[in-house]
Amino acid sequence: MPKCRDIPEVASAYIDGEMPISGRLAVAGHLTICRECRTYVQGLRTTRHLVATSFRAEVPATVAAALGLTDEDPQPLGKDRRR
């Protein structure tokens, strides 16, 4: 079973499911008995979620098209599209 000092090193892999099942079970076992490490892992989850969602923004269609992020023909930005 991992020690408290090991949790910061493995927390991201644990959260992402990127460790073998034996490692996941060992970390989960430690988290069931250690409130401080449970709090640490939950804080990391929360921080990652907040960072991921704080950068979501709607990109205007004209910008997405100009960057080639859509199937639309790009229109020059700042140009009058009326003909």
The ranges assigned to domains in the chain are 4-61
DSSP 8-state secondary structure symbol assigned to residue 71: S
Q: What tokens were used for 24?
A: 């996941």
Task: Lowest mean pLDDT of 20-24, 25-29, 42-46, 71-75, name the range.
Answer: 71-75
Return d(Cα 14, Cα 24) in angstroms, integer. Answer: 6
Mean pLDDT of 40-50: 95
CB 7 within 8 A of CB 37: yes
Looking at residue 76, what is its pLDDT? 57
Residue 1: pLDDT over 70: yes
Give pTM, 2 decimals: 0.64
pLDDT, averaged across the chain: 86
Q: Which residue has the tokens 């069931």?
A: 32
Residue 27: pLDDT over 60: yes
Mean pLDDT of 17-26: 97
